[in-house]
Structure 1
Amino acid sequence: MDINKIESTVFNYIDEFKVLFFPEQWSDIFLDFSKNEILALLFLYRKKNANMTEIAEYIMAPLNTATGVIGRLEKKLMVERIRSAEDRRIVLITLTEAASVVIEKEKAMIIKYLTKVYGILTEEEISSVLSIYKKVVGVFKESKNQVKEEESPVKNIRKISIE
């Protein structure tokens, strides 16, 4: 496939995907929160609470970035920091009641649309879509790993003899 054909295909898909991002279809959560904030909220929704390191690993960001993300979510009253009952030195991040309500509302909307989509597809089509999706995600994961390997400098270890 030549570059012009690929470009044309990409722009055609973008034109078709616009409907997925109309404000009428979705609430403002995707406008009010950053990608990392949404990922952190979803992670906390599923785990109930987590420490900063776990959140940073999940959103694939450095610890200082995750700290900023959680700080912004605290200001928006979506998360709170609590001390662990077992070890007071450990600070856990948990969702507020307001955040849980927002996520439940979004989840209901997503389920509504996915139910409609699944309703018009055959089992074979659903299987094909999921198979294609896994392959596409695999390409991106592989590319991400290659970039990491290229960026990480090779560390030379010098042995120093001690007399």
Structure 2
Amino acid sequence: MEKKEDVFFENLFYNYLDQMKFLFFPDKWSSISLDYSKNELLSIVFIYRKESVNMSEIAEYINAPLNTVTGVINRLEKKQIVERKRDLKDKRVVNIILTQKGKQLYEEEKKEIIYYVKEVYKSLTEEEKKSIMIISGKIISVLKSDKIKENKQRKKGKRVRKITIE
């Protein structure tokens, strides 16, 4: 039984991929998705929403270590998308904010994405809108629970090793 089910899901996946492959063609999207990494895009979104954040907050949001976030922010700073600002109250704290160029970039992309979301939404019936919300919620729930299990397993495997130095 499992083999038939595997074949069914494999065929479902390939059919879906064949229908959606146009999404992977660069001419269908603005260049932002090609110019920035996943972590850079997530950081831009997070900073835009919060206005001012520190490195630890970004690390927690994108689920990455601080050294990775440092590289992400360095690249975004080099592209003049973000800048580092010392906190006025506590000079030890460095906050990350979007530059005017960064805000403009995000707002242009958000505008385009919202346009397509609205177009899809307009094409759905009320029942389909309710169904898609329920189905999306279930998909997110399953993916999150699997990710949580995976992270717990990874943390269990991490152990501090004692190294003797001679």
TM-score w.r.t. structure 1 length?
0.90
Structure number with higher helix proportion: 2
Bigger shift: residues 23-32 or 41-50: 23-32
Residue ranges of structure 1 left out of the alignment (5+ in a row): 156-163
In structure 2, runs of 5+ residues without a counterpart are 159-166
Aligned residues: 156
Percent identical across equivalent pairs?
48
Residue equivalent to 1:57: 60
Tell me the amino acid that sits aligned with residue 143 of structure 2. F
Quick one: structure 1 residues 5 and 150, their matched pair in 2 at CA, closer, same or farther if it must change by over 3 Å?
Answer: same
Q: Which residue of 2 aligns with 1:160?
A: none
Equivalent position of 2:164 in the other structure: none
Find the counterpart in structure 2 of residue 79 from structure 1.
82
Following the alignment from structure 1 to structure 2, what is the Cα–Cα distance between the partners of residues 106 and 154? Answer: 40
| Aligned match of 1:125 | 128
Deviation of the 1:22 alpha carbon: 3.1
- Within 2, Cα distance between the matches of 1:154 and 1:17? 37
Q: Distance in 1 between matches of 2:139 and 2:80?
A: 36
Write out per-residue CA displacement over residues 117-140 of structure 1, whole angstroms, 9 at most, x where no aligned residue. 111111211111111111111111
The one-letter code matched in structure 2 to 1:2 is E
Alignment of 1:105 with 2:108, yes or no, is yes
Cα distance, 1:154 vs structure 2: 7.9
Tell which deviates more after alignment, 13-22 or 112-121: 13-22
8 Å contact from structure 2 (residues 26, 34) kept in 1: no
SS in 2 for 1:86: coil
Q: Aligned-pair distance for 1:23?
A: 2.7
The alpha-carbon deviation at position 24 of structure 1 amounts to: 3.3
RMSD over aligned Cα, in angstroms? 1.7
SS of 1:61 mapped into structure 2: coil
Partner of 1:11: 14
- Aligned to 2:92, the other structure's residue is in SS state coil
Superposition deviation, residue 112 in structure 1: 1.1
- Decide which of 137, 151, 155 is 1:152's aligned counterpart: 155
- CA shift at 1:16, angstroms? 1.4
Structure 2: how far apart are the matches of 1:135 and 1:68?
34
